[in-house]
Chains A and B, each alone.
Chain A
Amino acid sequence: MHGEFLFFIQIFSSGIAVGCLYALIALGFVLILKATGILNFAQGEIIMLSAYICYFLMTAFHFPFLLAALSTCILAGFLGIVMERVVFRPMLGEPIFAVVMVTIGLSILLRSVTGIIFGQDNLIFPTPFSKETVKVAGIVLSQTQIWIIISIVALIILFFIFFKYSRLGLAMRGTADDQQVAWLMGISVKRIFALILGVSFITAAIAGIFLANLVMINLSLSMIAISAFPAIILGGLESIPGAIIGGLVIGVVENLAGGYLDQMIGGGVKDVTPFVVLFLMLMFKPYGLFGKEEIERV
């Protein structure tokens, strides 16, 4: 009995670690969604690309980890600003179908270009975290996982402070709320969009760097962003705390399903669980736990 409970807590804790990662990815999605109303399908590719760039900086130029991570984040932010100018701004008035397809096209393009530049093999990231595990009250967690939990919690608190108290954060929230009014009040909406995209890409970069520490670097890293969709829906499409909570829930549920159902059904349950959850959520509660219900006016 004690063994069973321990098994449960163990899976739960690994779930929290992965959940923090999902929460960060979901945060990136919701930032863009709140501000521009666009669901950026290419976010997964940014995550993957940052993992590759960090790896490249560390192996080809021998940057120390922190410097490589920082440079990757700056590059990602810069890419966000460029992407806003080149891809998102021309598509601002278009129907949502067109914009979603453009981001999908972008994701395909980025993925294949990364494959062309870096090759198709798995790469092993030179992780700075040691491989030994830490035993906390009977639960075994690797150092990487603990660092993930600590850093992401710190990041979320930082984001919270930034959005609530800084001028720029306030401007972003205002723009996300109502573009027209923000523009009338003198906020440069174009610049805020670019900055929001930059910030969102930075969160994707951080998620990518952590992911590189957890698993092998591969082109399929981009799929993790699609697994984070249920997190966004769970939390409601436009709510940042909802996205974070959604991410944690999805991480835990995914791990629990994998731990318990893998023996019954055969492998791979972990990968399909988020989508089953997504489908069920969309059937019964499409606006999630914290979302605003969209009232359509004719």
Chain B
Amino acid sequence: MACLITLPIWSDPFIVYLIILSCIATIAALGLNILTGLTGQISLGHAAFFAIGAYCTAIASHRFDMPFWICLPASAFLSAFIGLLLGLPCLRLKGLYLAMATMSFGVVVEYVVITWDKVTYGVRGISVPTLSLFGYPLDSNNKIYYFLLAVVVVMVIGGTNLVRTRVGRAFVAIRDKDVAAEAIGIELTKYKVMAFTISSLYAGLAGGLYAYVMNYIHPEHFTFLLSIQYLAMIIVGGLGTILGSIIGAVFIVITPEIIKSLTQVLALLIPGMANKYNEEWNVAAFGLLIILFLMFEPKGLFGIWSRIKMCFKNWPFTY
């Protein structure tokens, strides 16, 4: 924790940038993990809520010049409200059907963002003014870094608390066997809609932060592939666990950079490889990662971490 706080002092600006991106991804992944990992509702439309949050912040700050303490909560609450609206009709859908419904929701939102250009400026994109905290502009990456770190800590603590309370346990019950959950008195409607709302709140907040960090948003940032990326984060990290979301988000954000460096290293060893690096390799590796993790390590990185912890705890015995 101490090294995280002092990070900008001793490390590369590029690493600071990566951690900023990971923070935003963590918040969004946390939201998705609450919905999909804890409550078992598969959502392929998470990027849509991210987009709603980002555009809300962008429009509010660019067109109406609202300060951040209106924009960010507005994004979060607008996103949460739309999540509530989506959760209601999706109540009786499960598994494959729910995945398709959320996916189609994602596509429709993408379409609306591109076509409703009176409000969203369509494919021209919106440039977002720099975040300023009550008059103190966060114009350097380091300042943004500390702000985001604070926000992430707050959201993670919120998430951890959620898991431990009654609401969290209700979510897990719904995931495990919702018919039985209803039988013991958990109102499915209330808790399922609550899961959608909370998850979209996280995503909307992450989207708003993304708009401020990037200073420019464009419909191409919010495609179906982004939803898949968030799903990959929670699968690779560990479904249903808070720590898993964090690990997964960091991993997925860092992997493209690792691949880039790997190809550069390989370029030194194998001549002729130097020009072969292609953006597409990231995507290919990404797809491969998903497949491999699901086939061989369904509990994700969190599962590996638990095993390591267990191994240390039980040493020298194996169980």
Interface residues of A (CB under 8 A from B): 39, 87, 90-91, 94, 96-98, 100-102, 104-113, 115-116, 226, 229-230, 233, 237, 265-268, 271-272, 275-276, 278-279, 282-283, 286, 296, 298
Instruction: State the CA gap A229–B298 with chains docked (Å).
Output: 27
A105:B104 contact, CB within 8 angstroms: no
Among B42, B108, B231, the residue within 8 A (CB) of A279 is B108
B101:A278 contact, CB within 8 angstroms: yes
B108:A272 contact, CB within 8 angstroms: yes
Question: Lowest 6 CB-CB distances: which A-B pairs, in order?
Answer: A105-B290, A108-B287, A109-B287, A275-B104, A112-B284, A112-B283
A286:B287 contact, CB within 8 angstroms: no
What A residues does B5 contact at CB under 8 A? Answer: none
Q: How many residues of B contact A (CB 8 A)?
A: 42
Instruction: State the CA gap A115–B287 with chains docked (Å).
Output: 13
B290:A90 contact, CB within 8 angstroms: no
Majority SS at the chain B contact face: helix
In the complex, B155 has a CB within 8 A of chain A: no
A105:B107 contact, CB within 8 angstroms: no
Among A101, A106, A111, A229, the residue within 8 A (CB) of B100 is A229
In the complex, B180 has a CB within 8 A of chain A: yes
B281:A108 contact, CB within 8 angstroms: no
What B residues does A233 contact at CB under 8 A? Answer: 97, 100
Among A98, A113, A278, A298, the residue within 8 A (CB) of B284 is A113
What is the CB-to-nearest-CB distance from B108 to chain A, in angstroms, rounded to a whole number? 6
Among B107, B114, B288, B295, the residue within 8 A (CB) of A109 is B288
Nearest-neighbor residue (CB-CB) of A116 within chain B: B280
Given A278-B101, A286-B97, A296-B179, answer yes or no on A109-B284 (Cβ-Cβ < 8 Å): yes
Among A91, A94, A105, A272, the residue within 8 A (CB) of B288 is A105
What B residues does A98 contact at CB under 8 A? Answer: 294, 298
What is the CB-to-nearest-CB distance from A95 to chain B, in angstroms, rounded to a whole number? 9
A279:B96 contact, CB within 8 angstroms: no
What B residues does A101 contact at CB under 8 A? Answer: 231-232, 235, 290, 294
Instruction: State the CA gap A229–B281 with chains docked (Å).
Output: 28
What is the CB-to-nearest-CB distance from B254 to chain A, in angstroms, rounded to a whole number? 18
Q: B216-234 vs A: 1/0 string, CB under 8 Å?
A: 0000000001001001100
Instruction: State the CA gap A79–B314 with chains docked (Å).
Output: 46
Task: Enumerate 14 A-B pairs (CB-CB under 8 Å) in ascending A order.
Answer: A87-B291, A96-B95, A102-B290, A108-B287, A109-B291, A111-B287, A112-B284, A112-B286, A229-B100, A267-B115, A275-B103, A276-B104, A279-B101, A282-B101
Most chain A CB within 10 A, of B177, B294, B295, is at: B294
Nearest-neighbor residue (CB-CB) of A277 within chain B: B104
Instruction: State the CA gap A296–B95 with chains docked (Å).
Output: 13
What is the CB-to-nearest-CB distance from B56 to chain A, in angstroms, rounded to a whole number? 21
Nearest-neighbor residue (CB-CB) of A283 within chain B: B89
B278:A105 contact, CB within 8 angstroms: no
B179:A100 contact, CB within 8 angstroms: no
B101:A90 contact, CB within 8 angstroms: no
A116:B281 contact, CB within 8 angstroms: yes
A111:B283 contact, CB within 8 angstroms: yes
B114:A268 contact, CB within 8 angstroms: yes
Nearest-neighbor residue (CB-CB) of B290 within chain A: A105
In the complex, B81 has a CB within 8 A of chain A: no
